[in-house]
Amino acid sequence: LLYNPGGFREEFHQMRLQRMHALLLVAGFVALVAVPDYSFWAWLFIAPLLVAGLALVHGMADIMGWPARWLVIFYLLAFFIFRPLLALLAACAVADSALDFRSRLAAARRE
């Protein structure tokens, strides 16, 4: 019942924000960054986008069949270029909510 080996991996690879949720998170982030006293709280709006961005990276790596070392390299890069990569992950998560990159890539790989 609660034991589901590999279940989290499968669900994490498929995780994607709905378009409206992604836009609301971006709007909340922009609104809080615009007010200097509240800019610290803007991270609350970015966190779900970052998790969705990480899910996108893991899902695409799985679809492409890349070995785990590419994810290790990704996380090492994330450690060294933290801020630019966070912005890129958030932007990719927003784009994925509208364009669904994983479904398109999986369909292209099947052909």
Is residue 53 a contact partner of residue 15, using CB atoms and an 8 Å limit?
no
Lowest mean pLDDT among 38-47, 55-64, 86-95: 38-47
Question: Which residues, at least 6 apart from 10, have a Cβ–Cβ distance to it below 8 Å?
Answer: none
| pLDDT attached to residue 3 | 82
Q: How confident is the model at residue 65 (pLDDT cuts 50, 70, 90)?
A: very high
Domain ranges of the chain: 7-110
| pLDDT attached to residue 39 | 83
pTM: 0.88
